[in-house]
Structure 1
Amino acid sequence: MLKPFIIITDSIMNTPHTSTKALFEIDNQIDILVKKIELLSYVNPTNIEAEKERFFASKYLTDPVFIYPEINFDRFNLHRELFSQPIEQIEDTEIRQLYQDIIYAYSGLIQCIETIGEGKKFYYNSLHSFGTPTEDDVENAKFILHFDDEDDKDEQFRPKYNELQTEQKFRDYSKRYDFTYTIKFSNTMSAIAMVLNNTKTLVINQNHTFSDNEIAVLTNHEIGVHMVTSMNGILHPLKIFSHGFPNYEETQEGLAVFSEYMSNSLTVRRLKELAYRVIAVDSLAKGYSFSKTFRLLHNQYDLERERAFYITVRAHRGGGFTKDYLYLTGLKKVYNYYKEGKDLKCLLTGKISLSYLTSIESLRKKGFTAPVKHITDSYLKNNNTNKTVDFILESLK
C-alpha cells in the first residue's frame, strides 16, 4: 500500500534571503538546545530492582522510593535560550507558527525533566506534554482485556536469549538497513529495550531474558521505526525532522506498534500489555498511589506480579508519566490511516506527527525536505495472519 512519495525541491538552500537564513539559524540553534533534552535518560529510576525487592517484601504496601539520574544542564538557561529565538524574523506565517509550537513543546519537556521525582509537579507537567486517556481510550483498553492471551507455553514466548545474544539478533536484523548505530546495555531501565534518538543508540535491558516474539517485536519496533525515522530525520535541511515535531510521540509509537502488526509479531498478549498501560495511566488521573495501581493490575486484573510491577513503574516513574497510553491511541490512528489507503512512507520522513501533516506538506512544497531514504521493512507487505488482532484493531473506537 506504499505509494510514490515525491519530494519537491528547489534552490532554496542557495537563496541568501534574510528570512530563510533566519529560519535555518533558528532551527539549528533549537537543535543544539533540544539535544540536551532526552527525557527517557532522566525519567528512568536507577534503583528499580532494589525497590522491587523491597516492595514485594512489604506485601505490596510500601511504595518504592526511586532515585533518578542527575540533570546535567542549566534548566533555566535552556528555557531562556529557547524563548529568545528571533522567530519574528521568519516571514512565512505558517512556518513561524510551527516554530512557536516547537518552542512551547520543548519548553514543556524541560519542565517535565526539572520536576522529575517531585510527585504532582511532574505529573501535571507530564499531563501538559502528553495528555491522559479519554473515556474511549479506557474502554478500548478494557475491551482488549476481555480476550484470552495466546498460550504462554507457545515456543515463541519462551525466554531464551541473554543480552549479548539479543544484541546479535538486533545486528543481524539491522543488516537490511543502510545505517549504523550504537548498542549499549543497562540494568536501570523499566523497558526491555529503547532507542535514544539524540545519540542514535539502542539500549538493551541486561536484566531481561528475551523470547523469539520479543526479538521480533523489538527489532521491528525499535529499529524498523524508531531508528529508521531517526536516520531519515537527519537527512533534511531542517533539523526539526530529527529532533521531533510537537506531539510526535503518539505517531511514533503508533508507527512502531503498527510495524509489529505488519510483520506478524503483534499478539493479543502484546495488545493487552498496551491496554494495561492505559489502565495504569488512567489510575494516575484517579489519584492512585504506586501500590494501589499495582494492586489494581495484579489483584483485579490478575496480572502476574513481575509484569504488573514494571507496568506500574512505567506509569508512576518521575511522579506520574502519562506517555504510555499513547501507544494504543497511536496504533489505532496509524491503523486507520493505513486502512484508508494513505501513504505510510511519508510518516517515516522523521520524528513527525499526524497532526502536522499539512505543515510538512507545505515544507515539502517550499523545498525544505529531503527524500525518504530508509523504509520500514515490514511496511512493504502486510504479513499479519492473526485474525483476532485484526478484529480487535477494527473494533477499537
Structure 2
Amino acid sequence: MKIENNVATKALLEIDKSIDALVKQIELLSYVNPINIEEEKARFFSSKYLTDPVFKYPSINFDKFKLHRKLFIQPLELIEDAEIKDFYEDIIYAYSGLIQCVETIGKGKKFYYNCLRCFGTPTENDVENAKFILHFEDENKDVPAFQPKYNATEAEVFFETFSEKYDFNYSIKHSDKMSAIAMVLNNIKTLVLNSHHTYSDNEIAVLTNHEIGVHMVTTMNGMLHPLKIFSHGFPNNEETQEGLAVFSEYMSNNLTVTRLKELAYRVIAVDSLAKGYSFSRTFRMLHNQYDLEREEAFYITVRAHRGGGFTKDYLYLTGLKKIYDYYHSGKDLSLLLTGKVSLEYAHEIESLIKKGLAVPAKHVTDSYSENKNTNKKVDFILRSLK
C-alpha cells in the first residue's frame, strides 16, 4: 500500500525521522551495565557478602538537557490523525523518561524512581506468582545438556548456524563488562556474548531462540517500516519483547522449570528494591534464604541493583504470561514481531499497516510455526499464574 503523499503525512514522517535521530543516542543497556562487575564481585565475596559493590558505569556521550528539549519541541499539532498524534505523545513522554533514567545511572534512589516511572515494580500478584514457581523442583542439573561446555568463541558458531534459517545478517561481539550472558544491541544490530561465561547446550538452545529468534527478528523487522519508531521502540515495549523472547523458548521446547525459577528470582530481587534492601541484603536473601548458588545469586542481584535499582527484570515473567495467554486465545503473534512494539498498541499497529505507514512482519520467529513444548509441568505453571 502506498503512503498518502499529503502535508499531514509528510509532517508525521518528518517528526518520526527527527525523533529517530534523537533516540538513537539512548541505548539504556549500554549505559546501565557496570564496567567493573568482576572486580567488585571478588571484593564482595572476600568481604563475606557484607560490603556492597561500588559499580562504575560508562560515561554518557550526549547532552541530556538538549535531548529533552528537542523531544518536546516536535510539532505534533501538525499530525491530523488524532490516534497517531496521541501515540506520538506517548512516545515522547516514554523517551523523556528513558533519558531521565540514563542521566541518573549510579545516583541511587534518583535512578530507582525514574525506573519506577518507566518500568513499574512487581505487584503483590507478581510476587505471589514468583513464589508459586519457586515451590517446584529444578530439573536434574547433572544432565549433560546443563553442563557448561563452550566458551564465547565456541558458542558463536551455534548462533551463526541457527541464524541460517533467517534472511538477515548481524554482528557478533564479546564483552567482559555485562551482567547478562548474551544480549542484542538493537541500534547497532549486534549480538553480544559474555566472554566470562561458559555456555551449556541448554543455554545455547535457550539463547538462540530468545536473542536471535525474537530480539534480532524484531530488530530487523523494525527497520522495514516507513515509521522509524518501530525500530527504536514503542512505549513499554520491554515487557512484550521479553515475553515474546521467553515464549520462543517455550515453543521450541527449551523452557524449563529451572529457567522459570530464574525469572521468578528476578521478580523477588526487584521486589527487594521496593522493600529498601541493600545489594548485600538482596544477595543474602537469594543465597541464604532461597539457597541459590552464590555466583547466580550475585548476577541476579547485580541485574536488579545496577544503576541504583533497575526494575525492568520483573517484566520477563509478566510478559511471558501475557504472551502465553495471547497465543492461547488464538491471536496472531506475527503482529507483535513487526518491531520493538507493545502488546497494548496492537490496535495501533494494525491501523498503521492499513494506512500504509507500517508493513506486516517479514521475518517470523521460527519456533512460532509449531508448538513443540512437551514439558507438562511448565504448561501447568504458566496456566496457573495469576
**Shorter-normalised TM range:** over 0.9
Q: 1:388 is matched with which residue?
A: 377
Q: 1:12 is matched with which residue?
A: 3
- Separation in structure 2 between the aligned mates of residue 315 and residue 215 of structure 1, nearest angstrom: 24
Q: 1:145 is matched with which residue?
A: 134
Letter paired with 2:241:
Q
Structure 1: give runs of 5+ residues left out of the alignment: 1-8
Shift of 1:371: 2.9
Task: Answer yes or no: is 1:57 the counterpart of 2:46.
Answer: yes
Letter paired with 1:184:
K
Structure 2: give runs of 5+ residues left out of the alignment: none
Shift of 1:191: 0.1
Letter paired with 2:226:
P
Q: 1:4 is matched with which residue?
A: none
- Separation in structure 2 between the aligned mates of residue 372 and residue 361 of structure 1, nearest angstrom: 11
Query: TM-score by structure 2 length?
Result: 0.99
- Separation in structure 1 between the aligned mates of residue 81 and residue 376 of structure 2, nearest angstrom: 48
Q: 1:46 is matched with which residue?
A: 35
- Separation in structure 2 between the aligned mates of residue 211 and residue 371 of structure 1, nearest angstrom: 35
Shift of 1:358: 1.5
Task: Answer yes or no: is 1:278 the counterpart of 2:267.
Answer: yes
Note if contact 2:353-2:360 (Cα within 8 Å) is conserved in structure 1: no
Query: TM-score by structure 1 length?
Result: 0.97
Letter paired with 2:38:
E
- Separation in structure 2 between the aligned mates of residue 300 and residue 68 of structure 1, nearest angstrom: 30
Q: 1:200 is matched with which residue?
A: 189
- Separation in structure 2 between the aligned mates of residue 60 and residue 372 of structure 1, nearest angstrom: 47
- Residues 187-237 of structure 1: CA deviation (Å, up to 9, x unaligned): 010000000111111000000000000000000000000000110010011
- Residues 147-175 of structure 1: CA deviation (Å, up to 9, x unaligned): 00001101110000011111111001000
| Equivalent of residue 212 in structure 2, options 223, 228, 232 | 223
Listed as ranges, the matches of 1:299-310 within 5 Å are 299-310=288-299
Task: Answer yes or no: is 1:266 the counterpart of 2:259.
Answer: no
- Residues 351-387 of structure 1: CA deviation (Å, up to 9, x unaligned): 1101111111221221111232101000000111111
Task: Answer yes or no: is 1:108 the counterpart of 2:97.
Answer: yes
Q: Secondary structure at the match of 1:204?
A: strand
Q: Secondary structure at the match of 1:175?
A: helix
Q: 1:186 is matched with which residue?
A: 175
- Separation in structure 2 between the aligned mates of residue 141 and residue 171 of structure 1, nearest angstrom: 34
- Residues 277-319 of structure 1: CA deviation (Å, up to 9, x unaligned): 0000000000000000001100000000000000000000000
- Residues 234-264 of structure 1: CA deviation (Å, up to 9, x unaligned): 0011111111110000000000000000001
Listed as ranges, the matches of 1:86-165 within 5 Å are 86-165=75-154
Q: Secondary structure at the match of 1:12?
A: coil
- Separation in structure 2 between the aligned mates of residue 109 and residue 120 of structure 1, nearest angstrom: 15
Q: Secondary structure at the match of 1:373?
A: coil
Q: 1:325 is matched with which residue?
A: 314
Letter paired with 1:306:
E
Size of the aligned set, in residue pairs, is: 386
Listed as ranges, the matches of 1:288-367 within 5 Å are 288-367=277-356
- Separation in structure 2 between the aligned mates of residue 115 and residue 325 of structure 1, nearest angstrom: 21
- Separation in structure 2 between the aligned mates of residue 284 and residue 163 of structure 1, nearest angstrom: 32
Note if contact 2:335-2:360 (Cα within 8 Å) is conserved in structure 1: no
Task: Answer yes or no: is 1:247 the counterpart of 2:233.
Answer: no
Letter paired with 2:117:
H
- Give structure 1 regions of 4+ aligned residues with deviation exceeding 2 angstroms: none
Identity across aligned pairs (percent)?
76
Q: 2:12 is matched with which residue?
A: 23
Letter paired with 1:126:
C
Bigger relative contact order (CA 8 A; separation at least 6) = 1
